[in-house]
Amino acid sequence: MQKCPALIVALLLLASPAWAQRLSGTAVPEHYTLWFAPDLTSATFRGRESIRLQMRAPSRAITLHAAEIEFDEVTVESVGGLQTAQVTLDSTAETVTFTTAQEIPTGLATIHIRYRGLLNDKLRGFYLSKANGRSYAVTQLEATDARRAFPSFDEPVYKATFDVSLMIDSADTAISNGTQLSDTPGPEPGKHTLTFATTAKMSSYLVAMVVGDFVCRSGSASGTPIRVCSTPDKLPLTTYALDAAQQQLAFFNDYFGITYPFGKLDIIAVPDFAAGAMENVGAIIFRERSLLIDPASASVNAQRGVASIISHEIAHQWFGNLVTMKWWNDIWLNEGFATWIASRPIARWRPDWRVELDDAADTQSALGIDALRSTRAIRIDVSTPDQINEVFDGIAYEKTAGVLRMIEAYVGVEAFRKGIASYLNTYAFSNAAGEDFWGEMTRVTGRPIDRIMRGFVEQPGTPVVAVQTQCAAGRAETTIAQRRFVGIPGAPPDERVWTIPVCFKAGSGRANCEVLDQPQRTIPAQACGTTAFANAASQGYYFTEYSPDAVRDLGRNASRLAPIERLGLLGDEWWMVRAGRHDIGVYLDLAGSLARDETAAITDTLATRLGFVGEYLVTPDQQSRWQTWIRSRFRPVLDTLGIPGTARDPAERQTRRAELLGLVASGDPVLQRRVRELAERYLADPTSLSGTLAPVVLRVAAASGDVALYDRYFSKLAALTAKPEDYYRFFNALPAFGQPELVQRTLTFALSPDVRTQDTASLLAGLMARPASREATWTFIKTQWPALTQKLGTFQGIPTIVGSVGGFCSAERAADVRQFFERNPAPSSQRTLRQALERIENCTALREAQSTAFGAWLQSSR
C-alpha cells in the first residue's frame, strides 16, 4: 500500500474495534469461491461463498472473521455429510463461529454461506464511491477489512486461491484479480455476470473488485498484458501511467529474475480511495490524483510522484504478494522493500530526475521520526486492528528502505540482488518473517547481515556516530563512538549498541568502510588535515556528529562532496542543532554557503528548514533582518533562474525555481506583486505557467489574497473535476488564504459534502500548517470533533488531523491538546498523538536553547 502523498505523519485506519482475535489454526482455507451482487442504488450487496478448507483437528466449531455482515444460511460439508451451522457473531473481535451438531472430522471440509452486506461510505471493505452523477463499488481490504466484504480467514498467513464472480448492472463492467473468463446475461433482469480466472495463492487482504463504467487503455511488458483504467472522462490521462508501468514491470522482471507471476496487471483509478494506492494481486487500485496526469502540463513533482507510486505498487507484486509476511508485525517486509526498490526503474527511465536524492530525502524524513523518544522499532508486537493500522508509517516505509540501502551499499549491489532473489524464490507463494530474510541474506553474502538487521529492526530509534580525528607525528586516527540519538537538548544517555557499517570518504577519494559494533572504536584515518565525511554516498542509516569546525571545513569544501552527501550533511547538522549539540549559527552558515547549490533536493531542504526557523525562532523584531538575510542569499539565485521560466527547462531548474520562489516571496513585497500578476495570468490562461511553478504561484498569491481572489480559486474547483492535478492546485491553495473570514470559509468547506472524504483531513492539515489559520482550525477541530470522526473513517483521516497539532510550539497548547484527547480518545492515533506532543515539546525546547544564539548570529550576519 502506498501512503497518500499529503500524508507524512501517519497512515492508519479509523473506527476499528479495540480488540481482535487471532484464529486458532484448527481450520485452514485452501480455496474461496465468491459471488457478489452489488446494488449501487441501495448501497448493499448480496454474497454467496464456498470455502474449501482443511480441518487440522476434529471440531464442532469453525471460527473465522466477519464484520458488518448478516448471515442468511450457513452449511458445512464434509465426509460426514452436510450440516446446517449455528451462527454466533462476536462484533468486538470481528469473528463469527459456525457450530454444527456433529463433529467435523479431520481432513477436507467446505463451508457454504449466503449473506448480505453494506456498501459503506468509509472507504474500507466493499464500499460505495460517487462521481460524475453515479455510483461505483470498490474494495479496500488491507489490513483487516476483507471480513467486511466476505467471511474469511482474514490473516496474511492463510493464503488460498480465489474464484470471483460478480452480477452487476448490464451497463457496467467489473475488474478483479484474475483475467475475465466470461460475461453472460442475467441471471436477473437488467444484469450480467462476469466471472474471473482462479487466482494464485494469496492472502485475503489482496482480493480486489471495482464495479462501474470503467474504461481502459491497454499495453504490455515482457508478455504480460497491462491495462490502465479510469472513469470515461479521464481516459485521456492514462497514457503516462501506462508508459511508466510498462517500463517498470520489465525492469522488475529482469532485476528479480522471476517473471511477473500473476498473469495480467490492471491499474485502476477510482474517484474515492483511502490510501494513495493498494497493491492487490493483478488489480492495483489508485486514488485518481495518484495516477492520472497529463505530462504536458503536469509538474515535475507530479510526474515523479505518479511514477514512484506505480513503481512501489508493482514492486509489491513480489514483495508482499508473491512473498507475504506471516503477521503484521513484519509489514516492513512489504512496505519497506517496495519503498527501497521503487526508485530503481525510474532512475533508468528518467535519470534527469535524480531520484536517488528522493531516496536520501526519505531517509532524512525517517531519521526525523527516529529522533523522537516516542518512535518505535521497525518490528513491534501488534494484535488489534488499531495497532496493526498504526504500523503503516514512516518507520515501516522509509526507515526500512534506508536500512536496506545501507546494507546494499555495504555488501555490494550484485550480492544484495542475489540475496533478494534467493529470498523471493525460497518463500514464493508462501509467507516469511524478518528472520527468514536476514538469514537468507547472511547465507548468500557471507556478511553479518543478521546482526546488523536485528539492531536496526528490533531496537527503537537510531544511533548517532560521533567522529573525532586526531593527528600526531604525521599519523591520523579517527575515533568513532555511537549512542542513541534523541533530538532534544538534555536527553538522558541511552547505552544501546547497533552494528553499523560506517563508510568514510576523504576529499573525492574512494570510501573505506568499517563496522562499528561497540560503543567506541579508534581506526586509522586516511590523512591528516582533511575532514573525512563519515557517511559516504549518504547510504548509512544513522546521524553523524562532527565538531563545528569540521562542519565548517566540510562546508568550505562542499564541492568535493556528492550532492547526496551535501544533503546528508545538512540533515546531520540540522539535528545537531535540534539536540542542542551545536549552535544554530553553524547550520545557518552552512545553509548560506549552499544557497547557490544547483541540486533541487538541497534547495528543497533549505527552504523547508529555513521556513521552520522563520516561523518558530524569528521574533517580530527580528523579521526584517531575517528577511534581508534570506533575500541576500537566495534572491540572486532566483533572479538567475528567471521567473516564470518554461516547462521546457530541465527538471532540476524548474524545481529549484519553484522552491526558491516559495522561500523568498514571503518576505519580498516586490516579488509578491509579481507573483500576483502571474497568478492572474494563470487564471486567465493555464498554459502561461509551467505545471511546476503554478502551484507555488497560486499559494504565494493566496497568502496576501482577498475575497475576490478566493472566489476565483473556488470557482475553479467545479470546473476542473476531470483534471485531478489542476483541481488540486486550487484546492491545496485554499489554506494559504489567511484572512479570518476566508479561513472560516475553508473550514466550513472542509466538512461539506463537496469535499471528498479522502480530502477533508489534508485540507485541515494544510490550515494547521499555517500560523494565520492554526488557532482557528484547532478551535474548529475541537468543536466539530464528532462530525469529523463520523466522516473520516479512512486510511488517513483522523490520524492526519492528530498529527497536524504537532505544529504548535508552546507548553500551553501542548496541555490543551493533551487534555482534549484525554476527553476524546483516538484509538487509531495513539502513537501519532504521542509524537505530535513530543514535537511541540521539542519545538519549545529549541526556542529556549537556541533563541539567544540565533539572535547573536543574526546580529553578526551580513
Structurally, how many domains does the chain consist of? Answer: 2
Residues 6 or more apart whose CB falls under 8 angstroms from that of 847 comprise: 616, 617, 809
3-state SS class at 465 = strand
Residue 143 lies in a domain: yes
- Would you say residue 144 lies in a domain? yes
Question: What per-residue confidence (pLDDT) applies to 793?
Answer: 63
Can you give the pLDDT at residue 14?
Answer: 33
Mean of pLDDT over the chain: 95
CATH of the domain at 723: 1.25.50.20
Domain that holds residue 620: 595-737
Residue 430 and residue 160: Cα distance in Å, rounded? 10
Per the model's pLDDT, the better-predicted residue between 741 and 489 turns out to be 741
Could you tell me the CA-to-CA distances from 515 to 413, 527, 700 in Å, in that order?
A: 18, 20, 48
Give Cα 309 to chain centroid, integer Å: 9
Please classify residue 720 by burial: count the beta carbons closer than 10 Å to its beta carbon, then call 0-12 exposed, 13-18 middle and 19+ buried.
middle
Q: Which position has the higher pLDDT, 528 or 179?
A: 179
Question: Is residue 109 a part of any domain in this protein?
Answer: yes
Confidence of residue 491 (pLDDT cuts 50, 70, 90): confident
Residue 690 has pLDDT above 70, yes or no: yes
Say which residue the cell 495497532 belongs to. 387
Report the distance separating Cα 655 and Cα 657, nearest Å: 5
Give the Cα separation of 307 and 119 in Å (integer): 31
pLDDT exceeds 70 at position 6: no
CATH number for the domain that contains residue 43: 2.60.40.1730
Task: Give 183-240 pLDDT, tens digit per residue.
Answer: 999 999 999 999 999 999 999 999 999 999 999 999 999 999 999 999 999 999 999 9
Angle at the Cα of 448 (from 445 to 451), degrees rounded to 5?
140
Q: β-pairing, 283-287 with 265-270?
A: parallel
Q: How far is CA 642 from CA 635, 639, 645, 660, 684, in A?
A: 10, 5, 6, 11, 22
pLDDT tens sequence across 607-656: 999 999 999 999 999 999 999 999 999 999 999 999 999 999 999 999 99
Residue 795 is predicted with a pLDDT of 53
Instruction: Look at residue 508 in the predicted model and tell me its pLDDT.
Output: 63
Q: Which helix (H) or strand (E) holds 483?
A: strand 475-484
Comparing 408 with 474, the larger pLDDT belongs to 408
pLDDT in tens, 134-182: 999 999 999 999 999 999 999 999 999 999 999 999 999 999 999 999 9
- pLDDT above 90 covers a percentage of the chain that reads 91
Per-residue pLDDT at 828: 85
Among residues 737, 768, 791, the one where a domain terminates is 737
Write the DSSP string, 128-188. Answer: EEEETTEEEEEEE-TTTTGGGTS-B--STT--BEEEEEEEEETT-EEEESSPEEEEEE-SS
Confidence of residue 507 (pLDDT cuts 50, 70, 90): low
**What's residue 3's pLDDT?**
66
Q: Residue 281 in contact with residue 317, Cβ under 8 Å?
A: yes
Residue 420 maps to a domain? no
Q: Among 93-102, 519-528, 541-550, 816-825, where is mean pLDDT lowest?
A: 519-528
Rounded mean pLDDT, 469-478: 84
Q: What is the CA radius of gyration of the chain?
A: 28
> Considering the domain boundaries, does residue 6 fall inside one?
no
Is residue 616 included in any domain, yes or no? Answer: yes
Q: Which of 247, 270, 293 is the last residue of a domain?
A: 270
- pLDDT score at 845: 96
d(CA 750, CA 101): 54
Task: At 522, list the grid cell.
Answer: 579508534
DSSP letter, residue 806 = G
Strand partners, 76: 83, 111
313 is an active site residue: yes
pLDDT exceeds cutoff 60 at 447 = yes
Query: Strands 161-169, 191-196: parallel, antiparallel or unpaired by DSSP?
Result: antiparallel
Residue 287 pLDDT level (bands cut at 50, 70, 90) = very high
Q: State pLDDT tens for residues 566-578.
A: 999 999 999 999 9
Give the pLDDT confidence of 751-772 residue by residue, as tens digits.
999 999 999 999 999 999 999 9
Model pLDDT for residues 315-356, shown as the tens digit of each residue = 999 999 999 999 999 999 999 999 999 999 999 999 999 999
Task: Tell me whether residue 158 is in a domain.
Answer: yes
All cell numbers assigned to 351: 535519470
Which of 313, 408, 440, 838 is catalytic? The answer is 313
Is the pLDDT assigned to residue 16 strictly greater than 60?
A: no
Please say which residue of 718, 737, 756 terminates a domain. 737
Closest CA relative to residue 286, chosen from 244, 336, 345, 329: 244
Domain membership of residue 78 (yes or no) is yes
Examine the pLDDT at 15 and tell me if it is beyond 60: no
The more confident residue out of 11 and 856 is 856
